[in-house]
Amino acid sequence: MEGVCLCFVFILGCLPALGQINPAQLGRITLRELRETVYPDDTAAHAVILQETGEAYFDNQRGLRLVFSYYGKIKIQDAEGLSAANISIPVYRGEQGDEEVIGIKAFSYNLEGSRIVKTELSHKAVFEEDVAGNVTLKKFTFPNARPGSVLEYTYELYSPYLFTYRDWVFQHSIPTIRSEYWARIPGNFIYNIRLVGPFELSLNESAVSKDCLRVAGGVADCALFKWAMDSIPAFVRED
């Protein structure tokens, strides 16, 4: 496991349904992001995560599922940072069913003169690789990624494992400017949620989301949690 993360341990629960939240949007690429050649907080960094946003919620549009939605935006600083253009999404397969990744969208942005050129990932370029146990990796490489590129991608992971919220990893092998995670949890779910690692949260908020559960004619409330960190250094692996 890398660096700093939020861990979820389920204690007690039941089955709800929930609507989506959406804290991130595709296409917000700036000339400044494309023109920057050095990350001031780590001038040796070969790539930087500009923004990373996740959300977890329940959805009953395709049968009751726990949904994890992800958005990431990465800056490639130089040729050594091109490995950050290779993406792997772990998917679990088990006795209760298989997780499913849908809606993968990925784009590379490059500056050609004063013009931003956008290249979209082809669905044919996404493939699967089986690894140990019951885990499969959904993998792709950004098209036209090169030094100076800004890369962004999004996907949704549908899981039948209703009591298993995904842990959120704030710290990676490259520095991160902003990492934010939202989780909307039914009021009758109880989790032990803990922050593991040496860094403090820059955002730690919770609120009641009224009438968020609608199932079998009943309505109930949820707790909406928002966590974030800023200016997270790269996680350095020791020998």
Q: Is the pLDDT of residue 114 over 60?
A: yes
The model's confidence at residue 107, banded by pLDDT at 50, 70 and 90, is very high
State the pLDDT confidence band at 11, using cuts at 50, 70 and 90: very low
Mean pLDDT along residues 38-67: 88
Residue 29: its pLDDT value, please? 93
26, 212 Cβ separation under 8 angstroms: no
Give the per-residue pLDDT at 214. 65
Taking the C-alpha atoms of residue 56 and residue 8, their distance in angstroms, rounded to an integer, is: 12
The percent of residues above 90 in pLDDT, for the chain, comes to 58
User: Average pLDDT of 66-93?
Assistant: 95
Domains of the chain with CATH codes: 5-231 (2.60.40)
pLDDT at residue 6 tops 90 = no
3-state helix, strand, coil in the chain (%, to 5): 5, 55, 40
Tell me the pLDDT band of 216, cut-offs 50, 70 and 90: low
First to last CA, the chain: 15
* Pairwise CA distance, residues 213 & 76, whole Å: 41
pTM for the full model?
0.88
- Residue 25: its pLDDT value, please? 74
Q: Which residues pair with 90 in a beta bridge?
A: 137
All residues at 6 or more sequence positions from 110 whose CB lies less than 8 Å from its CB, including other chains: 34, 116, 117, 119, 144, 146, 148, 149
- For residue 105, pLDDT beyond 80: yes
> What count of residues does the chain have?
239
How does pLDDT run across 143-160, given as a tens digit for each residue?
Answer: 999 999 999 999 999 999
Average pLDDT over residues 177-182: 96
Q: Are 4 and 200 in contact (CB under 8 A)?
A: no
pLDDT higher than 60, residue 10: no
C-alpha span between 98 and 158 (Å, rounded): 9
The residue written with tokens 């039914």 in the block is: 186
Q: How far apart are CA 209 and CA 206, in angstroms?
A: 9
In whole angstroms, what is the distance from residue 10 CA to residue 16 CA? 15
Average predicted confidence (pLDDT) for the chain: 86
Instruction: For residue 61, name the pLDDT band (cuts at 50, 70, 90).
Output: low
Q: What are the tens digits of pLDDT across the range 13-52?
A: 433 333 444 556 788 999 999 999 999 999 999 999 999 9
DSSP, collapsed to helix, strand or coil, labels residue 45 as: coil
